[in-house]
Structures are given as C-alpha cells and as structure tokens.
Structure 1
C-alpha cells in the first residue's frame, strides 16, 4: 500500500523483511511443535524493488535442521501490476529459527520420521 512506500514510491525494505520473516516461519513451525524465535538473518538480498500493486509470492525451503534450530531459505517473486503473468525474483533470504521453551531458552527439536 502507498503508506508502506519510501520516497521513490517503492515498498520499504523493512516491510518486505517482516513479510519474509512471517513466511519463513511457517515451515519450521511444523517441526518445532511449540514456541520459536527468529535468531538470525543470515543473508538478505534485495534484487529488485517491490512496487505498489505488485503481487508477492513467498517460497521457503529448509536448508538445515540442527539440534535446536532450523535454517530456511526464502525466495520472493513479484508479479508486476503492469505486467501480469510476468514474475521477477525481488528478494532472497536465509533465516534461522530456534525452538524455545516457556522461559525463552533453546530446547531440542524432536526428530521426525
């Protein structure tokens, strides 16, 4: 929306980062079975600007599962408002989430079959 734009009329990078964090947390939530927290943004690359009217699609995949943490790669594609049917990668990121207990301390992730 226009309220989320910078002086150039592009969407704020911070808004995109927040959406990437939300999208990236969906996959680890299936493994963690409880509370988790984002502990690291390992890499974040803005490849193209996101413009008002773009439709964004977020794709995530697990790249590593540790004892208490899960690392996820997220790719973001924009379908341009003025060029529907054309998709361009606008952002890619790597984030690490850690399973936490009720006191906020790391806890082991249960192994899945």
Structure 2
C-alpha cells in the first residue's frame, strides 16, 4: 500500500488521544498531518512556512489506540509563494500485519519571511 515510500512522520497515539467512541480524535490526526506537511513544505521553501488552507481532508477509517501511524506527504504544486502538499495516513495494525489507509488530505502552505509575510518559494534569479 505504501509503495516503499518513506514516511515523513511516524507516531503511536496514546490513551489521552482517544475520543468518547474509543477512536483517536480527528483533531489529533489533523495535527500530525499538519506537522508532516509542514516539514515537506519548509524543505521545499528552504525556510519558514505557514499553513493557510486545508483544501480537502477525508476520514476513511478510524484510528485505534496502538496503531502505528505513518504520515506520507508530497509537494504536488508550487506557486510563487504557496505550495500544495498531498498527505496520506496509513495505520499499521496487528503488529504490522495489516495496513489501513485512515485519512488523506490536501494542505496549502505559504513561504514566509522573518516578519511572517509571504515570500517567494524560489528566490528570484540574480
């Protein structure tokens, strides 16, 4: 399912991350996705970035306590100051025997300067 890609982030949710239904809070996984996408965006922009939009996010399957969560992210599009990052989250269950795609999304980031103003992703040619 993961096509030998390397995850940007791997994490195991803990007991404090469980909602009333016994599954992991949607906000918790949203935060993990934002962290992973931010890593990819800041590497591409070679500097600071800020999340400006979540264009799409789909919860496909619940995340369980003790799932090993792998977050994959790739930069899909680069504009003058913004980048679109596609994210896919896979849960490994049953001691790694089962992999389940649990969520996916598309986040937009903007490269920012020291004053938190948008800056070009790719510096102008000299």
TM-score above 0.5, yes or no: yes
Match for residue 43 of structure 1?
56
Correspondence 1:105 to 2:114: no
Where structure 1 has 5 or more consecutive residues not aligned to the other structure, the ranges are none
Match for residue 47 of structure 2?
34
Q: Following the alignment from structure 1 to structure 2, what is the Cα–Cα distance between the partners of residues 35 and 83? A: 37
Are 1:2 and 1:9, in contact at CA under 8 Å, matched by a contact in 2? no
Match for residue 67 of structure 1?
80
Correspondence 1:91 to 2:103: yes
Number of residue equivalences? 110
Q: Following the alignment from structure 1 to structure 2, what is the Cα–Cα distance between the partners of residues 51 and 31? A: 32
Match for residue 53 of structure 1?
66
CA drift of 1:83 comes to 5.8
Root mean square deviation of aligned Cα = 1.2
Relative to the length of structure 2, the TM-score reads 0.83
Runs of 4+ in 1 over 2 A off after TM superposition: none
Secondary structure at the residue paired with 1:52? coil
Where structure 2 has 5 or more consecutive residues not aligned to the other structure, the ranges are 1-13
